[in-house]
Amino acid sequence: MSAAIHPQPGTPAADAVRRANEEATMRALARGEAVLAKWIQEGVLVDANAVADAWNINSPAVHAARKRGEIFAVWAKGKHWYALEALKLERSKLARINRTLGDVDPSSKLLFFLRQHGALGGRIVADAVADGDLDDVVRLAASWART
């Protein structure tokens, strides 16, 4: 490989590459934060109080459910936010899907719930589950978790 592609560590060229990578990472993080802020404003993401109301429990119980893996949250603006889309599912079905997704990062889980999936006939998760295709969603979640 050429030195232009992989400059020697500690050289000005290597420092420039490192700085460029750090700047690109910071810009990407800022774009991600902006998207999350927009989704919060639009109601795509809701706070623990909304989950508590939907599940008829209190906010500490929502946080406990998150810790148990029944529901996932993304971190933005200094607190946990939950996918409104996930609240369209029965709690036990959401827990099954979320646990199948396992250690997938919360942002990827969010995309899993928001995205139309070809494997589900172009439907989003909530629509597929509503149509009785929970097992198909769980298989897709297992596949998603392996990638």
d(CA 58, CA 63) in angstroms, rounded, equals: 9
Query: Of 43, 46, 47, 132, nearest to 90 (Cα)?
Result: 132
Q: Report the 10 Å Cβ neighbour count for 120.
A: 19
User: Could you tell me the CA-to-CA distances from 127 to 116, 120, 135, 144 in Å, in that order?
Assistant: 10, 9, 13, 18
pTM of the model: 0.77
- pLDDT, position 92: 96
**pLDDT tens per residue across span 3-36:** 456 777 777 777 777 777 777 766 766 566 777 7
Distance from the first to the final alpha carbon of the chain: 29
